[in-house]
Each structure stands twice: as structure tokens, then as C-alpha cells.
Structure 1
């Protein structure tokens, strides 16, 4: 199953979730009606009970959904997560951040916010959020302490599969919906706790009402667990497979699962309320449950999919060994030669190198990084000067660094961009941005610009909304300061706008596309024309052939003439929203058409590859750092 099939499955999952929720509500209402009719014998009272029950469930779901509107970081914090600073010096936290940054860059998505559940000794993790721009990943203290780097990488790769494939969005909506159908149980519990203080006659009535609420609410709990089990189990197998595909080795993920099975704490979360609510989001089973209601496949079954010859008795041997000496992840890193990570020479391609690509190969790489992408991401990060990495991770310097990436080489245009930056963000930021361009960024390899921007994104999100709004206005003004802005600079600025807006209002921008290609013909033609022209500068005939090749792939029955827009890249402002709303299968065809437009001869240069990656990222189709045929 590729990225687009995963997206389509997640969209179908949303529909199934609504159907299952409706059935659960119906069963709860029928149970309440039966009890009301039995006690009162009144049809009017039964109707009132129906209305009250639906209102309680609906308001409960709306309340929980509203409380989660701020996205992944809110979920992680509510579950007891402690934020991990970008500049942390703690060895375990630094290792976690390094692994996550490399995985994010290899995947082509922004670096997520990181949290640690300090009070949880079990080995577990989860990803939460509405989109990659809003994602947060939380790991338990047990995972940090007990897993070595390869095992931690396997767990993080598993969670990134949920980030890339739309599972997070479904999970966070599931939290809100299930809260509603469990409301009667919560009400019954509260009544039992606080209802004993009244008069004896009142207490008996209250206790009876509480018991009825608990019994009927048990139907909601039953359906809630059943829905979570049905939604979660198969996706865990898929996420395990994706993690192996990404890391190209099974030992890391299998080792993490074995430590869950061999250590007393396992993957259990000690906070039972948190474990219940987020059980469908976790890497491992967070609470005990009957096998048919478990949110995760059996542990041995997961390990055997990675190591077919695995014998369950091995877990008993590991348990006996670890009783005397529990595993220490950092110590294992040293023993295995995994820490500190050896410095690698930058594996950057020559700027004039041209890479062989095909449309099907590139669309197959969307949301599906491989081990070579991870290695290349590591090399890209290591190839960045230490000073640039520190600037990207620091809250005070992230904005001027990102602004500097968009400054044009033409002095006249750069002067206009400076005026725009001063007008919106002040003289100090403009001075800092130009200093960074002059001292640090002029020698930056084209393939390093997007990774550097990705590293800066977490620090950028720390700024308050008014400051971010002013910065985005400055970026917009810089891009439109002159018509000579390159397509890459335009798309990079657009990507920055998209990611920041989604991080500011995550639930507002969360959606699964449903439009068909035939409804966006003009937008297709505009985007293909701009990219064909950018991919074949000064070669109008080659550009026209590339445009027609892309159009033939996406709209084979249409005859839209090649007509590059007079306003150049500015014409793209009108295409992003309609194209981003395409259904997943149509997006796959769009990506393949874009490859045709950029590389009509089957090869792309470094600049064209980065342009293609940026355009795909704007359309929420993240491409890994390498586009070469594998």
C-alpha cells in the first residue's frame, strides 16, 4: 500500500468511524429508553431521555474535539508529556532529537515537536496532530532509558508512518468522538463519588441513577474499545512494515518489541485514564485488555512478522536476564558503536549532476522514505556547519535565517526585499538576515536549503501568533517584491506559509481531499506550464513538449494549449488550494505529471529535484531527500 492508498484508506476510515459512532449512540439511546420506559412507563419521559442522552453524547464529543483543536502538542501535554527543547544538552534527549530530525528530513516533513512522558517507566510512544506541520511525538522515559539508538529509530520510524499516512488525524478525531459515547460512564462515576453527601432518601435515588448511568455507559465503553481495536490493529502491522522499509533492518524494531515483552513494565502506562483515552495511538499496548478488544496485535505476532523464526520462549530468557541487570540504551549504544554517531562526510551531489527519474518511481517515493534516504538525511545534517544548525534550532535566529534563504542574488531585488522585511519585522531582523546571507548562506548547497528550513521550523513555532503573522506578511511581501523571484524561492515561501498556518490552526486545515482531476483543469494547466518553463529555461519548444507530456498523463482527453502565465509564479497563488483538495488517487497522477513537466527527458538536476520536492510538500505529498532511482 503506497502513500496515496494509505490516504484513501484513512479517508474511508473516517467514514467508517462515523457509522460505528452512530451505531454506538443508537445502542446507548435504546438502552436508556428501555430503562426509562421500565421505570416510568411514560412515553413522554422516554422521549425526553432520548433527547437528553443524545445531547450529553453530542456535547461531550464537541467539548473534547474543541479541547483538541490546538493539535498534537496539546494532546502530548495533556498526557503528561514534557517538551524537549531544541538546544537540549541531555545525552538521551539529544539522541532522541537527532534521530527525529534525521527521520523528518528523510521523510520530507517538518520536524515535529518532541515530548517525554517522564513518569512512565514502560516502553511506549505516540504521534498526535492533524497534519505533519502540527505533529507532536511523545516517548516514555522507559523508551529513552531502555532502547538503544537502532531500537529508538525503529520506534520513531513506526510513529512517522502514522504522521505520513494520515493516521494521526483519524486518531485525534477518534479521541473526541469516543469521549462522547463514554460520557454516561463518566457521569455515573462522578455521581458515585460526590453523591453520598445528601439526605438518605436522596442518596438512594442518586445512587440508583449513578448505577444506571454506569451500566448503560458500559455499552459506550464496550463500543469505544471495540471501535479502537478495529481501527488500530491492522494499522499497527502496516506501521511496523513501514518502519522496516524505512530503516531497512528489522533488528531495531524487533529489539524494542522484545524489550517490551521481557521487561516488567512492558509498554504499560501507569496513568490508567491516559492509557484508556490514547490506547489506539500508542506504539505498544498501554493497558491490559482481552485479546479481541486489544488495540494492538499480540506482541509475539508482531515480532514474528519481523523475525519469522522467533520463539516466544526467548522472551522468558530475556526476562530472567534483565531481572538482574535491566538494559541501558545509552550503554548499549557505546557497546555497539552507535554513540556518539560517527561523523560522515557530506554526501552532496554535484550541483550540475542530473539524476534519472521516472514518474511512477517518484510517486512511489511519496511518504515512503527508505534506508538510503535516512543515510542521506544524516549526511545532509552532518554536512551543515554547526553554526547553521545552532541558528536554525534557536528561537531568536530562526526567523532571520528563514528570511535569508529567500533573499535574491540580484542586489536591486534584494534591496526591495529588505524594505519589505523592515516594514513588517523591523530593521534588526533585516540586518541579521543580510548578515547571515553574506556570512553563512552564500555557499549553501541547493540540496541543503529545505533540510535547513525543516530544522528551523520547531523554533519558529515557538513565537507568538502576532509575531508569526508579521513574519508571514514579510515573507509574502519579499516574494512579490519583483517578478524575477525564482520558482523555487516562491515555492519555499509558500511552503513556509502553509506549514505555519497549519501549525497555528491545525484543526481548521485538517481534511481529506475529495475533488477529481476534471474539476481543476485550469489549475493543472497553470502549474504544469510554470514548472515546464522552470525545468527548461530558455527552451520554449522543450518546455512545451514537457507540458504536453504532463497534461497527457493527468488529463489525456483534454487539449489545453501551452500558455505560460504572464505573471509567472504569481499565477500559482490561485492553484494551491484547489489542487490540494484533490482525492488521493488524483494527487498521485498529479505528482507523476509534475515529474513529466520538470524532467521531460527522464533526468532532473539538483535544482529541479528540490523544486519538485518543494511543490509536492506544498501539496502535502512529502518526497524523501533522494529522487534517484533505487
Structure 2
């Protein structure tokens, strides 16, 4: 499956989840009604029990969903995760951050927030959040200590597959819904543990009610485990396959799975309650559930899919060897030659293609690359990170420098326009920020290779999202004012500002932006036409006939039966303000056609420049269709 098929499957999975939840609730209500009728013989009491049970389940689910409104970082913190700062110098944490940053840039998504579960010796990880903008990835201390870089890369690539394929959104909703159907069991347990009434005759009915609640709650536990197992197992195999496609080698992922099977700690989490609640999200089983309740395929099966000749007896040999000498991931990195890479000793950044270089692309090829990075994309991402230079990377990770840095990226090359933009920045954020932004522009950003602008923004987004909400609101207002200073705004500056807006808005209110698209292509004809016209005009500003041909090529791809004339909007790129929301809400199949149409519009000769490729990536990112850093494939 490609990205759009995964998104469609996730949308269907969301519908199945609601259906299974309704069936589970019906089973619990029926059990409570039967118990009430048996003990009281009253239909009135039975009706009251029905209402009460539904209220308990609904309030429990709503409470848990509300507690997760903060998105991935909230889940990671509730699991005991410790935030990994962007400027960490700890070798194992620096290695983790390097791997995650390179995979994020290769995928075309913002760098997620990182957490480490320091108290967990098992090898495990999970991704949580409503969208890539608020995603968090957490790994255990055992994963950092025991896995080498190849293996850690395989685990992180597996988790990125969940981020990109829409699994993450489904998983976090599952936590909220399942909490509701477990409420009766939890209530019964609390009454038995903390209640004192059971010691007297008057307390007997309460004790009986608690026992009934626990018995009925067992039905909720059964359904909850069945739902998680049904949702999770196949998705874990798909994520394994995506990780292999990405890294183009099975060694790392298979090695991580072998270490889970060969070490005493395995992938188990110490807190059984937490492990049970998030078991469907974890890289490896966090609790000892098997058979129908297993949230993951058998470990040997997962390894054999990666290494068909694998013999289960090898795990026994590894277990015997590691019992006396446990593996050390950082030491293995030294032996494999990875240590210098993560310490920054790579011998200088590799050359990037010329800014006017042309790459050969086709619309279906680009559509297949959406959220489907491969090994060469990962290699190029490493090269892009190195190409930014240590000083610029350090600025992107500094809390006080990230806002001026993004402002500097958006400053217009025209001095008169930039002067007006400076006034807007001073009026809202003060003279010091404006001065710092212009200084960063002069020292680091003038002449920055177009292929490096989005990677730099991707590194900056996690730090930006940590600023207080009032500062972010002011910053977004500043960005909007900069872009709309006058009508002469480059398409890239406009789209990058939109991307900043999207990233921050979704991070501020993650649950509000969690949705699956429902719009059909025929319902957004004018929005299609506007976007294609703007891109065609931007690609051929001085050649209206060529721009018209590019526009018609894109329109033919997405709306072949419609005859919408080429009419570039008078307001230029600012006309795109009205198209993002309806186009972002397209069903996955329509989004796939849109991406192909965009490629047609910017490359009627099937070639695009590096600058055009980065523009295409920016537009796709705003529409939540992330593309790899460079479009050609080796």
C-alpha cells in the first residue's frame, strides 16, 4: 500500500473501531441489565442501570479523551517519559536525535518531540499524537543502551511508519474509547480496595455491587483486549515492512527484534497498567498477552519475515551469550564505524546539486514517494543536515534563536519589501527580534541553497512549538503580517509561512485538527483551479502561454471532464488562503490525484528544478502529503 491507501485504511479502521466500541458497550449494558434484573426483579431499576452504565462509560471515555487533548507529548509524559532537549550532548541521546532528525527530513515531516523512559530496561518504543505536527516518539532506556545505530534506526523507522500512515491518530483515540469500557471494572476495584463498608451488614449491598461491577467489567477488559489485538497486529507487520522499505536493509530491524527475544528484559514495561493501556502502540509487546489478546505477531514470525532462514534456536544461543555479556549499543557503533558520524566527524558536508539542476519526474512516481522514503532518501537527508552546517543547526535548536531564524527565512530579497516587513516585526515582537532576524539573514540565510530551507525549518519547528501560547499567537500574527506586507510575495515565502501556521496551530490544539478527509474532487473544483493556476503562473511568470499549458496539464489529470479556464487570481498567492482547508479535507484518493496534478503543473516537460521541487514539497506539506527531501531516486 502507498500513503494514500494507508490513509484510506486508517479511515476505515476508525469506522470499525467505533462499531466495535458500540458492540462492546452493548455487551456491557446487557450484562449489567441482566444482573440488575436478577437481583432486583424491577424493570425500573434495570432501566436506571442502563442509563447509569451508559453515563459511566461515556464520562470515562470523555474524561480520558480530554486528558489526551495535548497530543503525543502528553501520552509520553504520562508513560514516564523524560523530554530529550534539542541541544543534548549525551552520546546516546545525541545519537537518538540525529537518527530521528534525519528520518524526519527524509520523510518530509516535522521533527517529533523525543522522550526517553529512563526506568525501563526493556527494548521498546512508541509514537503518539494526532498528526505529525504534534507527534512524540518515546524510547526506553533499554533501547538506547542495547541497540546499535542500525537497530535504533530500524525501530525509529518503524515508529515513523505509524506517524505517516495514520495509525498514530487511531491509536490515541483507542486509548480514550477503551478507558470508558473499562470504567466499571476500575470502579469495582476501587470500592474493594478502599471501601470500609463491607465490614458491616449495611455495607453488603455495596460489596455485592462492587463484585458485580468487576465481573461485568471483565467483559469490558475482554472486548478491550480483542479490539486492540484486532487493530494492532496487522499494522505492526505493515510498519515493519515500511521500515525495511525505508532503510533498504533488514539487518537493523531484525537485530532489534533478536535482542528483544534474547535479553531477559525483552520488551516488557515495568508498570503493567501503563503497558496494558498502550500495548497496541508499542514496538514490542509491553505485557504478557498471547493468543487472541496478543497485540503483536509472534516475535519469531516478525524476524522470519525479515530473515526467512532464521531458526528460533538462535534466540536461545543469543540469550546464553547475553546473559553474561549484555550488548552495548554505543560500543557496537564504534566497531561498525557509526560513532564518528554521530559525533559530527564526517569530514565536511557533501556537495548539493546546483540550485538550477533539473530532475526527471513523473506524476505517479512523485505520488508513490509521498510518505514513503527509501534508503537513498535517508542518505540524502543526512547529507542535507550536514550541508546546513553545525552553526546553523545549533541556531535551529536554540530557544531564543528559533523565531528570528524563521523570520529571517521569510524576509523578502527586495530591500524595500524587507524594510516594511521589519516594521511589522518591530511593531509586534520588538526591535531586538527584528535586528537578530536581519543579522541571521545576512550571516547565514542569504544565498542558502533552496534544498536546505525546508530541512532547516523542520529542525526549528520542535523548538518553536515549546514557546508559550501567547508568544506563539503573536509570532503567527507577525508571520501573517510579513507575508501580506504587499502583493509581491514569492510563492515559497507564502507557502513556508502557511507551513509555520499549520505546524503551530496543530501543535497548540492537536485534537481539534485530528480528522480524516471526506471531500470529493468534484466538490472542490474551484479550489483545484485556483491552486493549479497559482503554481502554473509561479513557474512561468513571464510566459503566459506556457503557464496556461501547465495549468491545463494539471487540470486534465484531476478533473478531465471539466472545462475551467485558466484565470490566475488577481491577488496572486494570497488567493490560496481560501483553498487549503477544503483541499486538505479531500479523501485520500482525491489527494493522490491532486499531488499528481501539482507535478503536472510544475513540470509539463517532466522536469523540475531544485527550487520547484522544494516549492512542491512545501505545498504538499501544507496539505499533509509529506514528500522526501529530493525527488529523484537513485
- Quickly name the TM-score band, shorter chain normalised: over 0.9
Q: Deviation at 1:211? A: 1.1
SS at match of 2:278: helix
Describe the SS at the equivalent of 2:400: helix
C-alpha displacement of 1:626: 1.7
2:156 match: 156
1:71–1:134 contact (8 Å) kept in structure 2 = yes
2:586 maps to 1:582: yes
The answer to whether residue 530 in structure 2 is matched with residue 518 in structure 1 is: no
How many Å separate the matches in 1 of 2:450 and 2:541? Answer: 18
How far apart in 2 are the matches of 1:399 and 1:519? 38
The residue number in structure 2 matching 1:219 is 219
Q: What is the CA deviation profile of residues 315-359 of structure 1, one whole-angstrom value per residue up to 9, with x for unaligned ones?
A: 000000000100000001001111121516324111111100000
Answer whether contact 2:349 2:389 (CA < 8 A) is retained.
no
Alignment partner for residue 413 of structure 2, among 403, 409, 413? 409
**Equivalent residue, structure 2, for 1:133:** 133
- Report the CA distance between 1:208 and its aligned residue: 1.5
Equivalent in 472, 477, 491 of residue 487 of structure 1: 491
Matched residue SS, 1:127: strand
Superposition pairs for residues 392-407 of structure 1, below 5 Å?
392-407=396-411
Deviations along 1:90-134, one digit per CA (max 9) or x if unpaired, are 100000000000000000000000000011100000000000000
Which region of structure 1 is more displaced relative to structure 2, 321-330 or 204-213?
A: 204-213
Aligned to 2:545: 541
Instruction: Quote the offset at 1:539 in angstroms.
Output: 1.3
Give CA deviations for 1:255-286 in whole Å, capped at 9, x if unaligned: 00000000001000010011010000000001
Distance in 2 (alpha carbons) for counterparts of 1:145 and 1:499: 32
Mapped to 2, the partners of 1:188 and 1:332 lie a distance apart of 50
CA distance in 1, matches of 2:612, 2:444: 23
Q: Name structure 1 gaps, 5 residues minimum.
A: none
Deviates more, 1:436-445 or 1:500-509: 436-445
Kept in 2: contact 1:347–1:376 (CA 8 A)? no
Alpha-carbon deviation of 1:199? 4.5
SS of residue paired to 1:85: coil
> What are the equivalent positions in structure 2 for 1:350-499 lying under 5 Å apart?
350-499=354-503
CA offsets, 1:143-173, max 9 Å, x none?
Answer: 0000000000000000000001111100000
Rounded to whole Å, the distance in 2 between the matches of 1:609 and 1:199 is 74
Q: Structure 2 CA distance, aligned partners of 1:95 and 1:60? A: 40
Q: 1-side partners of 2:381 and 2:138: how far apart?
A: 22
Q: 2:596 aligns with which of 583, 592, 596?
A: 592
1:228-239 matches, cutoff 5 A:
228-239=228-239
Cα deviation code 1:178-210 (max 9, x no counterpart): 000000110011011011356511333222211
CA distance in 1, matches of 2:414, 2:438: 13
Q: Deviations over 1:532-566 (max 9, x none)?
A: 11122311111101100100110011000001111
| Rounded Cα–Cα distance in structure 2 between residues aligned with 1:462 and 1:231 | 32
Rounded to whole Å, the distance in 1 between the matches of 2:22 and 2:351 is 53
TM-score by length of 2: 0.99
**C-alpha RMSD over aligned residues:** 0.8
In structure 1, C-alpha distance between the alignment counterparts of 2:390 and 2:594, rounded to whole Å = 38
The 8 Å contact of residues 100 and 156 in structure 1, kept in 2 or not, is answered as yes
5+ residue gaps in structure 2? Answer: none
Separation in structure 2 between the aligned mates of residue 275 and residue 383 of structure 1, nearest angstrom: 41
| Matching residue of 1:280 | 280
Q: Distance in 2 between matches of 1:276 and 1:290?
A: 13
- Provide TM-score, normalisation by structure 1: 0.99
CA contact (8 A) 1:347 1:380 kept: no
State the Cα distance separating 1:39 from its structure 2 match. 0.4
Contact 1:357 1:629 in 2 (8 A): no
1:7-65 CA-partner distances (Å, limit 9, x unpaired): 00000001000000000000000000000000000000000000000100010000000
